[in-house]
Structure 1
Amino acid sequence: MTDELLSVKHLVTTFRTADGHVQAVRDISFSVKKRETLCIVGESGCGKSITSLSIMGLLPSNGFIESGSIEFEQQDLAKMKKQQLQKVRGNKISMIFQEPMTALNPVLTIGYQLREPLRIHQKLSKKEAHKKGIELLKQVGIPYPEKRMKQYVHELSGGMRQRVMIAISLACHPSLLIADEPTTALDVTIQAQILDIIQNLKDQLGMGVIMVTHDMGVVAEIADRVMIMYAGEKVEEGDVQSIFENPQHPYTIGLLKSVPDVDKPSILLEAIPGTLPNINEEISGCRFHPRCPFATERCKQEIPEEYQINNQHKVKCWLREDAKNDSDFQVISTT
C-alpha cells in the first residue's frame, strides 16, 4: 500500500484572455505523501497559487486544465464534474487561503462558518456541529472559543482570523491540506505560531500538506520537500536539505542568496536581476535565461532536459549537462 496521497502529472493550466490562450502552469509533475509537507516556492506570479487552485478545482471562470492529471485517492480530480469535486473539497482536501478577510464571510458569525462544512460533509446536527466547532477553535489555540463562535470576522485580529481559517479547513479531518501563503501580513511571532499549529496538526491527523510560499525562511522551518517554480514551470525539486545545501538551478541559488543569514551578517544580499516575465510572454529555450548570469546560446534556444541528481533531487538546467558522465546524474525526461 502506497503512502502517496496526491500525484500530479504533466499539468497544464491555461487562461482565456483577449490575446488568446496563455499557459499559467506549464507541464509540471509532483507528488505528496501522507505526513509530508511539500513547499512550492517562487516569486509572485510564477504559478504557485494557480497550481493549488487547479488541484482544488477553483480556477477563475476563464481558466481551465488543458491537459494532465491530478490523481487523489485513485481518482482524477481534473476529470471530475463540479458536483463530484464539491464532495472532495473541504472534506478530503482543504485549503487555507492567503487573506482570511476575503476568504471568510463578513456577514456570518464564526460559528456559522465552522458549522457549515460539518453539517454538509459530516451530516452533523446543528448542536453537534456547534460543539465540534468549539473543539476546533480550542485545537488551533483560540481562547474563549464559545465567545468567538458568536463573533464576526471584523472582531478578530489577523492572527485569530488565520487560526479560524485553519479550524474551518480541518473541520472534516482532510487527508490533504493546501496552505496558500498562510503567514502573509502576520508578524513573525504569529507566523511561528501558525506554522507550529499546521505542523502539529499534520502529525496528529496524518495529513499531507502543500505549502505555497515565497519565503525561504518558512521553507526551512516546515518543508520536507521543496518544488521551485519559475514562470509557470518546475525548475528544481528535492528534499529540503538538498535544496538548501546543494541547490542546482541558478534561480534556486538566486532565491537563497536573497535571504539574509543571521549566522553570516557580513554577507551582502544579492538580488536576482530583471523581472518575472508576463504570463503571455513567449520565451524560447529556458524561460529563466534572460535573467540567468550563466546562460549560454543553448539555454536561449532549447528547453532544458530534467536531470536526476539523486533519488530525491531533480533539476531542469543545461548547466547539468557537464555532469552527464557522473554516475549520480541521468536524464529522466525531455520536455
Structure 2
Amino acid sequence: MEAKENVLLDIKDLHIWYRVYGGYLKVLNGVNLILREGERVGLVGEAGCGKTTTMKSILQILPPGDFLIPKGEIYYKGKDILKMNSSEIQRLRSREIAMIFQDPTAALNPVFTVGTQIGDVIKYSIALEEKKVHKEKIKILSVKALKEVSLPDPERMLVNYPFQLSGGMRQRVCIAMAISSNRNLLIADEPGTSLDVTIQDQILRLLKEIVEKKGTSIILITHSLGVAREMTDRIYVMYAGTIVETALTKDLFRNPVHPYTKGLLASVPKLSGGGIAKGIPGRIPDYLNPPQGCRFQPRCQHATCSCAENPPQLFEVEKGHLVACYLAQR
C-alpha cells in the first residue's frame, strides 16, 4: 500500500451527497487520495465524475445547505478539515491552499480592477501575520506576482478590468492571485479548458515552471490524459465518484489495468492516424440510484456477478499501483 511519509493531504473514504428534489445524488462514494509534499498529482476522469466536488470539499466551498457528508475524513497536515472551525478554514484558504478554477471569466469580478482583486488576496493573507498592511507593500507584491506569470507591463495591468484582458491573460491573473502568497498546495481545476490550444499549452507550461520553482504540491484536475502525462508524477483515475486506479504516471501508461482506464487511453486520438479512436459505450450512472456494486459494471465488457453485488476494493497489483477491479485480483 501507499507509504505515509511526508503526507500533506490525506482523503479517507469520502462520501458526498447533493440534496435534490428527488432525494440525494450520491456523487462521491468512498474516495481515497494521498498527496505528499512537493508532489504533482493528476485527477482524471469524464466530466461529471466528481473531480471538482472532491477538490471543493478540501476548501469547504461546496454550496451551503445543498450537500451532505455522511462519511469520510480530509486530513491536511494531520488535521481533519471537516472538523475545523471557521477561523481555521479561513487561514487554510488564505495561507495554505489556493485553487485555480477552469473559467477565469467567472472567477474574476468584472466590476473591480485586477489590482484591487489581487491586492485583496495579498492583504487578507498578510493580515493574519501583520496588524497593519501598507498599500505600497501590497502593490509591490502584486506587481511581483504578475511578473511571475509573465504578464507584460504589470503596473499598467493593475488598473485594468478583467473584460479588458484576453482569456489567457485572465487565467494568468488567476494564477498570480493563487501564488501571490506562498501556498503549500495548489489545486488547478482544468485551467486551460476555456482557452484555445496554444494558450492552454502556455498556461500549463507556466504552471509547471512555477510549481517546480517553488516546490509547491499540486493537484491537477483534467480530462486530458496527455496533459496529465506531461504535468504529473502520479495519477488517480476517477469514475462516477470512485477511485478506480492509481499509480505513478509512467506505470499507469505502461500498464493500465482497470477496464475504464484502458477505455480512456483507447479514446485518445492518435497523431499517426489509424482510424477514429474508440469511445466507451454507455454513460455515467444515475447518482440518485447508482449501481449497488462496481459503478462501472453497467459499461464493462468483463463484468461478472460479483461486480454487480459488491464494489471492489483497491488492490495492489504492483508497488504503488492500486486497482479497484476484481479482474486485477485473479
Q: After TM superposition, is the score higher than 0.5?
A: yes
- Establish whether residue 187 from structure 1 lines up as the match of residue 196 from structure 2: yes
Give percent identity, aligned residues only. Answer: 39
- Structure 2 counterpart of 1:290: 298
Aligned residue for 2:318, secondary structure, equals coil
Show CA shifts across 1:144-174 (max 9, x none): 1111100001000000010000000111110
Partner of 2:69: 65
Write out per-residue CA displacement over residues 185-215 of structure 1, whole angstroms, 9 at most, x where no aligned residue: 2122211111111111111211110011111
1:145 to 148, 154, 164: 154
- Residue 121 of structure 1 is matched in structure 2 by 125
Report the CA distance between 1:267 and its aligned residue: 4.9
* C-alpha contact 1:65 1:78 (8 A) present in aligned 2: no
Q: CA deviation at 1:276?
A: 1.0
**Do the aligned residues in 1 keep the contact of 2:317 with 2:328 (CA within 8 Å)?**
no
Unaligned runs of 5+ in 2: 128-132
Deviation at 1:103, TM superposition (A): 0.9
Q: Name the residue aligned to 1:250.
A: 259
Q: d(CA) in 1 for partners of 2:69 and 2:238?
A: 18
Q: Which residue of 2 aligns with 1:331?
A: none
2:269 corresponds in structure 1 to: 260
- Contact 1:224-1:239 at 8 Å conserved across structures: yes
Give the alignment's TM-score, normalised by structure 1.
0.92
Secondary structure of 1:91's counterpart equals helix
Q: Secondary structure at 1:94's aligned position in 2?
A: strand
Equivalent residue, structure 1, for 2:250: 241
* Alpha-carbon distance in structure 2 between the residues aligned to 1:156 and 1:79: 40
Q: After superposition, where does 1:74-93 map in structure 2 within 5 Å?
A: 74-93=78-97
Higher relative contact order, chain-length normalized (CA < 8 Å, sep 6+): 2
Instruction: Tell me which amino acid in the other structure corresponds to 1:80.
Output: M
Q: What 5-or-longer segments of structure 1 have no aligned partner?
A: 323-335
Whether 1:218 and 2:218 are equivalent positions in the alignment is no
TM-score by length of 2: 0.94
What is the count of residue pairs matched by the alignment? Answer: 321
Answer with 70-79 or 143-152: which moved more.
Answer: 70-79
User: Quick one: distance in 2 between partners of 1:212 and 1:227?
Assistant: 10
Distance in 2 (alpha carbons) for counterparts of 1:108 and 1:68: 38
Q: What's the CA shift for 1:78?
A: 1.2
Runs ≥4 in structure 1, deviation > 6 angstroms?
Answer: none
Distance across 2 between alignment mates of 1:80 and 1:22: 25
| Structure 2 residue aligned with 1:174 | 183
Cα deviation per residue 1:113-142 (whole Å; 9 max; x = unaligned)? 111121111133221111110111010010
For the aligned residue pairs, the C-alpha RMSD in angstroms reads 1.4
Tell me the distance in 1 between the aligned counterparts of 2:289 and 2:279: 22
How far is the alpha carbon of 1:311 from its aligned partner? 2.2
Could you tell me how far apart the structure 2 residues matched to 1:216 and 1:32 are?
19
> What is the CA–CA distance in structure 2 between the aligned matches of 1:315 and 1:287, rounded to whole Å?
14
Q: CA deviation at 1:259?
A: 0.4
Shift of 1:69: 1.3
In structure 2, how many angstroms separate the alpha carbons of the residues matched to 1:267 and 1:34? 42
Counterpart residue number, 1:305: 313
**What secondary structure is seen at the aligned counterpart in 2 of 1:89?**
helix
2:280 is equivalent to residue 276 of structure 1: no
CA contact (8 A) 1:54 1:65 kept: no
1:90–1:169 CA contact under 8 A, matched in 2: no
Q: 1:229 aligns with which of 231, 238, 245?
A: 238
2:94, 2:124 within 8 Å by CA — same for their partners in 1? no
Question: Secondary structure at 1:11's aligned position in 2?
Answer: strand
**What residue in structure 2 maps to residue 209 of structure 1?**
218
Secondary structure (helix, strand or coil) at the match of 1:309 reads: strand
Give the match for residue 115 of structure 2.
111
Which residue identity does 2:216 align to in structure 1?
M
Look up the equivalent residue of 2:157 and give its one-letter code. Answer: R
The range that moved more, 297-306 or 111-120, is 297-306
SS of the residue aligned with 1:194?
helix
